[in-house]
Amino acid sequence: MRTLILGGVRSGKSRHAEHLAVQHGGSVAVIVTADAGDEEMAARIAAHRARRPAHWRVIEEPIALGRALLQLARPDSVVIIDCLTLWLSNVLTRSEGRLLEPESAALLAALRSAAGSVILVSNEVGAGVVPVNELARRFTDATGSLHQRLAAACDRVVWMVAGLPLTVKAPQAGGSSAEGSST
């Protein structure tokens, strides 16, 4: 089962991903993409860490998500990737965008071939105004394109609003997953 969870900042995306992972019942690995560049971000990261069960495997990977996903994915497991918009920021700012397409392609390929279940978490940024600077426009464009590609590759897409999950795309009856709606 491949699940994409989208929503605004503080909409409950990560909590919902964690809830789905617990429901899955198998082992859980989390790939986190955030760097603590300031005190506020460090506090956010600490809150996420404190909320996760201690036995979950957590790795930090700011760029090579496809490679990390393939390393962690197991048939009886679930891998959470949190968060794709922070990952896109890393890719755009650290490589001046040169790694955007190859790393996006690697992530999509890994998503399609990874064993087990995968839950992707990302902020929806395209519902606001068009940004005034070039980097911000590249970021919103890249986010929208990535979300469309991921949504096409995922079995389920969930939109989070005020902590409530709204299913945008549901697994097809008789689909490839025997897990039904558990992840």
Residues identified as active-site: 48
Structure tokens at 166: 């709204």
**Sequence-ordered strand ranges (E) for the chain:** 2-7, 27-32, 57-60, 77-82, 117-123, 156-161, 164-169
Residue 88's closest CA among 125, 117, 115? 125
Q: What is the CA radius of gyration of the chain?
A: 16
- Can you list the alpha helix ranges (DSSP code H) found in 25-117? 39-51, 65-72, 84-94, 100-113
